[in-house]
Structure 1
Amino acid sequence: MKVKYYLELAAAFMLSVSTLANADEIYRLPDSIVPQQQIIQLRVDPDQLDFSGETWIDLDITKTTDKVGFYHIDLTLEKVELVQGENVIPLEVSGGEYDIFWGSAGKPLPPGTYQLHIRYRGKVNTSSDGMYLSRFEDRNYIFTQFEDMEARRAFPSFDQPNFKIPYQLTIESPEKHTVLSNTPVEKRQVEAGWQKVRFQKTKPMPTYLVAYAIGEFDSAEITGLSVPGKVYTPYGQAHRTRFVIQHTPAILKALEDYFGIPYPYAKLDFVAVPNFTHGAMENAGLITYRSSLLLLEDEPGLSERSGPLDTIAHELAHQWYGNLVTMAWWDDLWLNEAFASWMASKVMMQLYPELNFHTRIIQEGAFTADASPTTKPVKKLVRSSADVMDGLGLNYSKGESILNMIEALIGEKAFQKAVQTYMQKHKWGNTTADDLWAVLGDVADFDVPAMMRTYLEQPGYPLVEFEANGAVSQRRYHLAGAEVKPQVWNVPVAISYKKNGKIHRQMMFLNEPRVLNSQLAEADWIYPNDNAMGYYRWKISSRQMETLLSDIDVLNVREKKNLLYNSDALLKAGEISLQDHMQVLDVLAQEQDPTVVSAVVAALNDLLYLVDDSNRQVFARFVAEKLMPWYRKLGVGPQPGDSEEIIKLRQAVFSILSQHAPNEELEQVSKKMTRQYLEDPGAVSRHLASAALKSTAKFGAADWYHKYRQAYLKSSDANVRNTLMGSMYFPQDENVRQLLDFSFHEEMSPANVIYNLYVASKSQEKQDLLYSWLDKHFQQLTERMPSYHIGRMPEFVSSSCDQHNVQLARAFYPGRMEKFDGMARSFEVAMDEANQCLALKDRFQAEFTRYLEQVPR
């Protein structure tokens, strides 16, 4: 837990918070003490949890003070002193909030240059926070994950992104291990079975980018880079990196060309990490990945390439966005993540057009979370790690969506020019959002700062409505029955409309609640989101919608997808009837483009909250009527020349049919593929296998659980394990208990425990067994899980569209969530999601059932 008072230190130090006036207001170190560089020495043995360290931080004190602040978590400080020449000043340490400790000199410290020296001890974390232990095939490894505020678990520091300084690391460990860090090795000495490895000094960087890894690694060289590079893997796994090695050079070259700046570090190493809370981490010169993203087949299928390649592009883009140029504080984290995601998508479209990134509508990944009345702005007050993680996904999806929208308005070349100017101006430094808006404003013919602030400094997004007389209005989008504060955005609306038999296009900037656009009066139809680039929902009259649907071929694939998703959003907002929405779905279900049909399947999945025992059979009949023709056409076996869109559609169609419209044929096909996958995971594509495994778990015999578990334990392949773990939706009580107990198995990575709980939570419609188990094992569970997952647990486990389950959650968390940073906020979010879903179900389920009953038998 990060926001708390620390009551324990070495016996030599007495902790006291009484000296800190208004301590609850101090969540950042003062700007008057500025670190210049830091030397860190560590002694770490992966086979021992205890470690020791020593650090020296050069400081400039610019204003007289009597104390020096620094961060640490759970370290035992043995010596803390300030050195100035021959003068050594012992510091008495007291603890404050937000992990800040204060070393008091007992006398005024005049401005000048000093060195803070700290000797300390600690314990290696076992749940993938900070510096942590990971075990793979009977070997122990040490990895680090320091973003956002976790470096302080490994060494005392000025752990803030605005303090961007060089670091020099020296690590002692048993000589059998390979020791890696951000920079090349400068010197290595071996004595008495131990090695002492000193690394070259880093370029200036924030503390969260410091990284190291210790273990018996294998490696493979990445050739064709502008700097030396290798992929490091756990012992015996390097042969599985050929795909990554083949594609990384082209991705790096595309980024270097876009920025007009060479890759800025001395080397580029990748590390495959068996136990990783997140997907990957952009540590300068030592990028870490979940092993499932790097350890692949030599030629994975088209649908299995997107994730690894996109992640590599994202992390490499961070070497410029985030590393070379770093946000000044965590409230601008979106500057890192949105730009890296946006740049990765651009690279994917350039290098891999066959993967169809151009048809992805990124904002759809943000709209659901951003519609909640409880959501916070992307740019918000950040004091603790829990604040950073609150709504973290919007930094990626909403941020990337806004950048897409701005680039579409400015133009690609002008946007690239602004980005290059931004990078050159601020390289090796820190920035705020204002710095970005300034350079974009220089190449735009509209007020970029005003527009960006309305989207990033307030929550939510607009619903833009078009009336027959040409009136255009905006209000905050919200789900039916929700209460939100009124807001106004500066909305760029790219409009196509048909009038008097001709199609016209127009751009308008809507920055008032309501305006009159006479050109739109009496239009036959309006499509107000050209190429689906806008970050807003929209509404036209039912007459115009009918006319648009009859003219559907004027829309491109992205626009057809947006039309369907927008209709679903209007339904959930209570702006249209279910009949109106199903009319849109029915028209698009007749399309032959596989990308559009995949969107139809996604829309059907989005209606599952309305399905229960009262209408399950008629829903199954409806889904079969819509999709069995596609199943007959596509089957489950790959065909020569299959495109990525066809592969995805095949998987989507089989998945929804096998799980929600089962028949004897589908069940037999599922069981056959399940047997094949359990015997040979390479025999069935991973995504099809996942659908088959889920169907077999749901409808098959109870003893399948033991077969899944045995296959999981037999395999060391992270992708196989993830597929099996994510498919264990066994409804039987005993199987659910065994699945929950599996959270404590030594072969279950601590980083994956939360996903195991998620699957167990969705295995049964009533969650009494789940909460009974959680009540018994909660302390043991939280000791095993990463802190980020503990804080987010209610969102993963307890968001439900069942009133009984919501009551179970409301009874379970009080008295527990107050002990963990972020859990109270996560509980608020989960309960809001549940209540909104229940309200929608109450509003639409009867109408939905009546609609389904019209389907011919």
Structure 2
Amino acid sequence: MCKCLLSDSGSTAAVQRNVLPTTVKPSHYDLELTPNLETFEFQGTVAVSLDVKETVKTIVANANDLQVHSGKVVVVAGGAETTQIATSVVVSKEAQTVTFEFANEIPAGAKATLHATFTGTHNDQMVGFYRSSYMDKTGAEPVKKYMAVTQFESSDARRAFPCWDEPNLKATFDVKLVVRPGLCALSNMNEVEEQLVKSEAGEVLKEVRFARTPIMSTYLVAFAVGEFEFIEAMAHPKLPADAQPIKMRVYTHKGDIHRAQFALDVGVRTIEFFSEFYGVAYPLPKLDQIAVPDFAAGAMENWGLVTYREQLLLVDETTTTRRRQFVADVIGHEFAHQWFGNLVTMDWWSELWLNEGFATFMGTSATVHNFPEWNYWTQFVHDDYMQGLGLDSLRSSHPIEVDVRSAEEVDQIFDAISYSKGASVIRMLSSFLGAETFAKGVHQYLKKFAYQNAKTTDLWASLSEASGFDVADIMYAWTRKTGFPVLDVVSESFDASKGELTLTIRQSRFLSSGDLTPEEDAEALWTVPLTVVTHLNRHTPTRHVLREKMTTITIPYTEERGHFWKLNYRTTGFFRVNLTASQQAHLASALRADFDFFTVEDRIGIVYDSFSTAKAGLSSTSGALDIVTGYAAETDYTVLSSISQNLASVKRLCLAEPRSTIEGLDALIRLVFSDKARAMGFEYAEDEDPNVQLKRTLVLSEAAGANDEEIAAELVRRYERYIAGDDKALHANLRSLAFATANKRSQTDAVFEQLLSLAKTSDAAAVQLDALRAIGSSPSLDVVRRSLALVLDSETVRLQDVTVPLNSLVASPAFGEARVVMWEWLRANWEALHERMSAAMGLLGSVVTLSVTFHTSAELADEIEAWARGDDLATDEAKAKRVEQLKSARRPLDQSLERVRTNAKWLARDRAAIAAWVAARQ
């Protein structure tokens, strides 16, 4: 592998990337694979058509965990054809390459075809061409069976076949799968031929050949082999004019197809929506979706064959309302990729956000289109927008466009910056340009770069052409700088004679730690699209662009009764707003006067801004708690969810404080939620508004979690009836909550044992997961330890689900002590955790994050940092091994430790104020 110095577009710094030599370039693959679901070893042959760019005697491709047995090259040059057998074939595990050496030179300008034979393993790590297991319950007795499926993004196609595994080395693919006759074989394209053949051992096999793919990146190639069932429908896009009908199928393993109808219906509507929105026809004849029992990510957008976790595709009567929304949103996200990512692909992994940020934004757009009754943009603000702000408020964050040196580094940026911040700045830009102009620019971009690779600047150029704005100039800091601004209104001046209010606004970088240095502040400057609403124009904001550190704006205003102003209408701008105590009090007063003054998105933004600036020390936590008291009459689910999350963060902050502080915070939670819980009750009508169902679950959960005895006792009674065999005692939306409430209030491990039994034996996957989500919520530290042990119990917990029991511990009444146990467990079990999870994309980092991020001790953060360096180890070799093991989790660990230190500062600064606020209301 050579190291090429490339200059990143939009950056002055050269980035050293580990990429393959540029001496040859692939154009086409003929690939044949013979999977085996008994030995878990597959055999393969590949013939790669190459354009020879430089005279060479070696050809280097990617390969990882493959045994490459032979190689030869057929060369056509000067009208003559020659064949050479490779004199050596060397696989480098460290470099993830295979090098073919030849005796004679292959001349520049020649056409060559590299032939190789190889074998690989269907591993159980959810990467490459891997195996997934399930229990087939269609016969008299359950039988464990397997399927083989793929997960190649970002750099694991090389685990399935030797290839040029870089996104900008696109090619076409002819795929042939040779399988047992009773199995179904799928790939990106439609099947064109099937015939029975005999293997060298005399076994009769089925050979399935698929149509040639469009030109595409290796990470989008996909296969699936197993005993599948399917349902199908046809999609009929109305636009563009050349759009063709698309055959849509959903595949499951046998016995699960009854849960596929929702995904099929949503898929048909979504592909039609995108064809019409993008104005570019979907270029494949079919689009399959398949549910996979073991899957590291949520889903993968393989062109024409989208793979999903089962719980993110399949829906039945045990599925919660929130999970149905997730399913629709994930389908939207993956289908958005069929154009934005598959048709036009980022040039290199540094621009991963072009795929993921745009698909997140467009996935939400599709969900809003398909289910307008869900008001799903408010969910986006609560989830993606706030998650992006939360991660990007850390010094250890990274730019949207991050310099990636190798494909192996990419896993660490599959995070809320690439997805959620990326989507949020696109939403901000779309709002600034206008939806029609934005759509026009996207259409031009897709048409211009179809079947090619593109960079961020290419998208900006198309949007600039459509809008007349210099989009690259506006967006540079948002994508190339870490962080985002906080806006302070440093002065107000009202001129009654003119009916105008003049605001002087200062921008600086927002850090959750609040310790911005003068040097950092001097470098912090964004072009900020700002919208302002007042009592005079509650839904027709004035628009401004802030380009300086300090900007003065003037808006129409009066000081009549109920007057107010608010920055960032509908919370579209990706920034925080920090208010002085008097400004905050005035806004809170306007909220109490009439919620209708503010959109739902604005009410969410007000809550998050008040708590986030309090954490940073820019405002007070007591002021944020005052804001919450003004929401006692709030009725919107997403706003109430925002209050719930922020009050939970304050409660976790105070776990080691006097019990009276926690009791006072619980009283505030009951003030907001208990009356609503009683009014809504425990019964779910199947035909009621989904947001009503979501709100019912939320308010019951908050009331029970804040020790509302009446609500909690009823949940426990319903749980006991359910365990006794009354399945109707718990609606799907109530199940996880009742499980957790019963476990919290149990003085023994009896509920833990019942939940463990459900996790192991329930016929419903949703019930199994709900049991795991609640299994660690007990006050018993023994149960906490037993729950942690499940992370390494491969018989009970699938690898994809290892974070679920970890997450459940956050709800334990003993979480103050449990979080210390979690850190001790991580340290004691590090080698086993690394061995089980290191190959699965981002999983190890998630486990590290959950194990350390909720502490409030700077001293403990120092201890964890020392452990990460290997200070507890005796030799330099052992220390280097620890550092290497943590490489894939280093960024999430740094972010977690920054959160711990920030929480420690927050608590030290505001513990007295929180206690005083609570005491004044008891």
TM-score, normalization: structure 1?
A: 0.92
Residue 798 in 1 paired to residue 852 in 2? yes
Residue 602 in 1 paired to residue 645 in 2? yes
Q: Secondary structure at the match of 1:535?
A: coil
* Aligned residues of 1:280 and 1:289 also touching (Cα < 8 A): yes
How far apart are the structure 1 equivalents of 2:3 and 2:529? Answer: 49
Deviation (angstroms), 1:848? 0.8
Deviations 1:341-361 (A, max 9, x none): 111211222221111113231
Deviation (angstroms), 1:299? 9.6
Q: Sort the Cα spacing of 1:505 and 1:626 in 2 relative to 1 into closer, same or farther, 3 A.
A: closer
Higher deviation after alignment, 696-705 or 581-590:
581-590
Residue 830 in 1 paired to residue 892 in 2? no
Paired residue type of 2:227: E
How far apart are the structure 2 equivalents of 1:713 and 1:578? Answer: 43
Deviations 1:201-258 (A, max 9, x none): 1111110111111111122223445222321111211122122223321222111111
How far apart are the structure 2 equivalents of 1:664 and 1:298? Answer: 29
Report 1:325-724 matches (<5 A).
325-360=344-379, 361=381, 362-391=384-413, 392-469=415-492, 470-483=503-516, 485-486=520-521, 487-497=524-534, 505-519=541-555, 525-552=564-591, 553=594, 554-613=597-656, 614=658, 615-639=661-685, 642-659=688-705, 661-678=706-723, 679=725, 683-700=729-746, 701-724=748-771
Paired residue type of 1:556: T
How far apart are the structure 2 equivalents of 1:98 and 1:475? Answer: 43
Match of 1:212 in 2: 223
How far apart are the structure 1 equivalents of 2:550 and 2:103? Answer: 63
Q: How many residues align?
A: 837
How far apart are the structure 2 equivalents of 1:782 and 1:680? Answer: 41
Report 1:705-854 matches (<5 A).
705-729=752-776, 730-742=778-790, 743-760=792-809, 763=812, 764-766=815-817, 767=819, 769-785=821-837, 786-788=839-841, 789-803=843-857, 806=861, 809-810=864-865, 812-813=867-868, 814=870, 815=879, 816-854=882-920
* Aligned residues of 2:172 and 2:214 also touching (Cα < 8 A): yes
How far apart are the structure 2 equivalents of 1:65 and 1:662? Answer: 73
Deviations 1:306-330 (A, max 9, x none): 1111111111111111111111111
How far apart are the structure 2 equivalents of 1:356 and 1:22? Answer: 47
How far apart are the structure 1 equivalents of 2:544 and 2:441? Answer: 23
Deviation (angstroms), 1:442? 1.3
Q: Sort the Cα spacing of 1:723 and 1:746 in 2 relative to 1 into closer, same or farther, 3 A.
A: same
Match of 1:70 in 2: 61
Identity, % of aligned positions: 26
C-alpha RMSD over aligned residues: 2.8
Deviations 1:485-534 (A, max 9, x none): 231111111122469x9998422111111123355899864311112111
* Aligned residues of 1:145 and 1:281 also touching (Cα < 8 A): yes
Deviation (angstroms), 1:89? 4.9
How far apart are the structure 1 equivalents of 2:106 and 2:544? Answer: 59
How far apart are the structure 2 equivalents of 1:207 and 1:530? Answer: 42
* Aligned residues of 1:578 and 1:848 also touching (Cα < 8 A): yes
Deviations 1:379-436 (A, max 9, x none): 0111234532324222111111111111111111111111111111111111111110
Higher deviation after alignment, 466-475 or 756-765:
756-765
Paired residue type of 1:478: L
* Aligned residues of 2:525 and 2:547 also touching (Cα < 8 A): yes
Deviation (angstroms), 1:755? 2.9
How far apart are the structure 2 equivalents of 1:589 and 1:744? Answer: 44
Match of 2:92 in 1: 95
Equivalent of residue 270 in structure 1, options 268, 289, 301: 289
Q: Sort the Cα spacing of 1:426 and 1:702 in 2 relative to 1 into closer, same or farther, 3 A.
A: same
* Aligned residues of 1:221 and 1:245 also touching (Cα < 8 A): yes
Equivalent of residue 249 in structure 2, options 206, 227, 230: 230
TM-score, normalization: structure 2?
A: 0.86
Deviations 1:796-826 (A, max 9, x none): 3221224376466446543434225412333
How far apart are the structure 1 equivalents of 2:353 and 2:118? Answer: 34
Paired residue type of 2:483: G
Residue 310 in 1 paired to residue 308 in 2? no
Residue 54 in 1 paired to residue 45 in 2? yes
Deviation (angstroms), 1:155? 0.9
Q: Secondary structure at the match of 1:261?
A: coil
Deviation (angstroms), 1:274? 0.4
* Aligned residues of 2:3 and 2:18 also touching (Cα < 8 A): no
Match of 1:185 in 2: 191
Match of 1:135 in 2: 133
Q: Secondary structure at the match of 2:491?
A: coil
How far apart are the structure 1 equivalents of 2:811 and 2:628? Answer: 27
Paired residue type of 2:684: P
* Aligned residues of 2:259 and 2:316 also touching (Cα < 8 A): yes
Deviation (angstroms), 1:602? 3.1
Q: Secondary structure at the match of 2:247?
A: coil
Deviation (angstroms), 1:736? 3.0
Deviation (angstroms), 1:752? 1.3
User: Structure 1: 5+ residue runs without aligned partners?
Assistant: 1-16
How far apart are the structure 2 equivalents of 1:385 and 1:756? Answer: 30
How far apart are the structure 2 equivalents of 1:528 and 1:342? Answer: 23
How far apart are the structure 2 equivalents of 1:837 and 1:681? Answer: 42
Paired residue type of 2:784: V
Paired residue type of 1:90: A
Higher deviation after alignment, 628-637 or 735-744:
735-744
Higher deviation after alignment, 576-585 or 527-536:
576-585
Q: Secondary structure at the match of 1:707?
A: helix
How far apart are the structure 2 equivalents of 1:44 and 1:592? Answer: 54
Deviation (angstroms), 1:160? 0.7
* Aligned residues of 1:771 and 1:808 also touching (Cα < 8 A): no
Higher deviation after alignment, 222-231 or 255-264:
222-231
* Aligned residues of 1:318 and 1:336 also touching (Cα < 8 A): yes
How far apart are the structure 1 equivalents of 2:145 and 2:691? Answer: 41
Q: Secondary structure at the match of 1:363?
A: helix
User: Structure 2: 5+ residue runs without aligned partners?
Assistant: 7-14, 76-80, 136-143, 237-244, 493-502, 871-878
Q: Sort the Cα spacing of 1:704 and 1:640 in 2 relative to 1 into closer, same or farther, 3 A.
A: closer
Q: Secondary structure at the match of 2:920?
A: coil
Q: Sort the Cα spacing of 1:521 and 1:482 in 2 relative to 1 into closer, same or farther, 3 A.
A: farther
Report 1:275-294 matches (<5 A).
275-294=294-313
Q: Sort the Cα spacing of 1:66 and 1:624 in 2 relative to 1 into closer, same or farther, 3 A.
A: same
How far apart are the structure 1 equivalents of 2:290 and 2:19? Answer: 32
How far apart are the structure 2 equivalents of 1:514 and 1:243? Answer: 51
